[in-house]
């Protein structure tokens, strides 16, 4: 698993402190899926293409470019 830092506002942090049962990682992933949907990107297709590219020894940086 790769972790990535995300900047949040103080109000976000406070809300998460009040609701410590909320999985912020899941919220982040859900927001990304919504962005993919807006841009008509199928996550399953993208996952398949990423797997194929990695099997071909491409790095993530090469794939992104």
Quote the pLDDT of residue 33: 94
How many Å apart are CA 28 and CA 2, to the nearest integer? 14
pLDDT digits (tens, 9 = 90+) for 6-57: 888 999 999 999 999 999 889 989 999 999 999 999 999 999 999 999 999 9
Could you give the angle at which helices 24-38 and 43-55 cross, rounded to 10 degrees?
100
User: Position of tokens 């990695």?
Assistant: 54
How many Å apart are CA 61 and CA 65, to the nearest integer? 6
pTM of the model: 0.66
């Amino acid at each position: 698993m790769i972790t990535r830092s995300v900047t949040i506002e103080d109000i976000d942090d406070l809300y998460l402190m009040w609701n410590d049962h909320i999985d912020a990682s899941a919220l982040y992933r859900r927001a990304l899926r919504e962005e993919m949907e807006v841009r008509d990107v199928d996550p399953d297709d993208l996952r398949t293409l990423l797997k194929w590219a990695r099997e071909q020894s491409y790095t993530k940086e090469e794939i992104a470019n």
